[in-house]
Amino acid sequence: MTNETQSAETIDGFHLLIEALKLNDIDTIFGLPGIPITDLTRMAQAEGMRMISFRHEQHAGNAAAAAGFLTQKPGICLTVSAPGFLNGLTALTNATTNCFPMILISGSSEREIVDLQQGDYEEMDQLAIAKPLCKAAYRVLHAEDIGVGIARAIRSAVSGRPGGVYLDLPAKFFAQTMELQAGLKSLIKVVDPAPRQIPAPDAVQRALDLLKNAKRPLIILGKGAAYAQADADIRALIEKSGIPYLPMSMAKGLLPDTHAQSASATRSYALAEADVVMLVGARLNWLLSHGKGKTWGTPGSKQYIQVDISPIEADSNVAIAAPLVGDIGSCVGALLAGMGNSWAKAPADWTQAVAERKDKNLTKMAETLAKDPVPMNFHSALNVIRNQVKARPDAIVVNEGANTLDFARSIVDMYEPRKRLDVGTWGIMGIGMGFAVAAAVTTGKPVIAIEGDSAFGFSGMEVETICRYNLPVCVIVFNNNGVYKGTDVNPTGGDPAPTVFVKGARYEMMMQAFGGVGVVANNPQELEKALTEAIASGKPTLINAIIDETAGTESGRITSLNPQTAKKK
């Protein structure tokens, strides 16, 4: 090749974007093809990237968010303009709320047409819409700026408190060209995108002094602790201190749920009676009753330590006596170092009281799980899954629904970190199939998606995606014929009640339609057989688990948030 030919070589916006992602070790895109990004999906695949194509952008976005949580790298969701962008926006906002690093990349109309509102195809000012709903939003108009755009998006997504980032790419960007070598030189390899934030020594000592003098200390682990991947130090902190701990749902497995110091089985007692509570990557939001009310015992009876990377999180609901600001790995490491070798464990009368109540409640739970009602209820069905996860602790559990979520969270023990993905801070339904796809693609491990029949309806069509990519996902639909229960009746005798579905729905046939395995389970024995075979085979499977339609409760365990039901009580 001559020098003249070499100098004439060019690279377009499509390939500059692909090269920028690859340069930063991003090898997977979740999305849905269409104008103006169809060719980009083809080119990304041709360049060796994995392009996982969904049936709806919201589920592709949920997959990107889950991938971000599991890998600490921003998951990438790619959508078309306007409606496709809006479909992905729910997932982007949910990622930001849950502190999952994700980048939503959407094609868009040309700026000059949007600004003059001239009626372009799928015309929308997407950047303006996205800005208030995510951590950061950027637009790249010129090919030479894509390196900066991707670098800024990555840093924004993973540094500090992680979150969602929007990147707007007008259609004409993709066709722009520049000289090849100049284009490649314009790309940026992000160095240290999430730098450590070391806590101040005096803040560490303040927290240690509070813990040392506590009579009834308690540690609460949030999903931020799981995301941090500081697993060994977190376990060492728990065990060295001897303090009982409560894991929030996505922090389950940081230590095995069967650990002697776990207070999950006596959560209410531990929260009400503790005098010093240390929050590690957990927020005092609605999931913890905002640190207020009868859940927390006598008002003013507690002092709080909060380990968080965001200084403005402190005092958001209650006074924080000892804020400890920094990344969780650095904070926990500093606490461990400060404890030294002579740290006295938590008072024995407190740990014994927690243990006694925990054992009593676990005995009651065992008695309930041992029952075998006909048809199955949530306990008898989840007991089967509980045993399967115990046998395969590397399996990833995805969980959503109302009763299906609430019961599974307390019944199915987790043994390894980041093996449980669920509805998170927003309590949003519809994450199931997107999270399941991401878990399988990212880890290669078997995935068990425990789905309420209502929650499954939000993303059920993605079983085709699961079959198309032949993913080791077993979906278990808890079929009780409706939302909460299948027993409501329309008092006028006309249409079905709003909460009631088609009776005897054959969900398993959806998976069969796309070449997967579909099974009906009417009892625990059939459920155990189907689940064991699904995990062993790695084949896409859907188990239609028939649950007593009277077994659920209205709104699950958040009845207080349902005004009419709460009023009735």
Render pLDDT for 33-90 as a digit per residue (tens, 0 to 9): 998 899 999 999 999 999 999 999 999 999 999 999 999 999 999 999 999 999 999 9
pLDDT at 530 over 70: yes
Give the percent of the chain with pLDDT over 70. Answer: 96
Q: How far apart are CA 45 and CA 33, in angstroms?
A: 12
Instruction: Quick: pLDDT tens for 257-271.
Output: 999 999 999 999 999
Q: pLDDT at position 563, please?
A: 66
Q: How far apart are CA 2 and CA 423, in angstroms?
A: 58
Instruction: Quick: pLDDT tens for 389-447.
Output: 999 999 999 999 999 999 999 999 999 999 999 999 999 999 999 999 999 999 999 99
Q: Which domains does the chain have, with CATH numbers?
A: 3-185 (3.40.50.970), 201-356 (3.40.50.1220), 371-568 (3.40.50.970)
Instruction: Quick: pLDDT tens for 222-240.
Output: 999 999 999 999 999 999 9
Task: Look up the pTM and report it.
Answer: 0.95
Q: How far apart are CA 480 and CA 503, in angstroms?
A: 9
Strands 28-31 and 75-79, how do they pair? parallel
Q: pLDDT at position 555, please?
A: 73
pLDDT-derived band at 5 (thresholds 50, 70, 90) equals very low
- Residue 150 contacts residue 26 (beta carbons within 8 Å): no
- Rg of the chain over Cα atoms, rounded to whole angstroms, equals 25
pLDDT average, residue stretch 140-144:
97
Instruction: Quick: pLDDT tens for 77-92.
Output: 999 999 999 999 999 9
- Residue 123 contacts residue 113 (beta carbons within 8 Å): yes
Instruction: Quick: pLDDT tens for 465-484.
Output: 999 999 999 999 999 999 99
Q: Which residue has better confidence, 428 or 303? A: 303
Q: How many CB atoms lie within 10 A of CB 339?
A: 17
pLDDT-derived band at 111 (thresholds 50, 70, 90) equals confident
DSSP state of 266: G
pLDDT at 3 over 50: no
Burial 5-21 (b: 16+ CB within 10 A, else e): eeeeeebbbbbbbbbbb
CA neighbor of 35 nearest in space, from 77, 81, 82: 81
Instruction: Quick: pLDDT tens for 475-524.
Output: 999 999 999 999 999 999 999 999 999 999 999 999 999 999 999 999 99
In 242-393, alpha helices (H): 267-273, 328-339, 348-369, 378-391
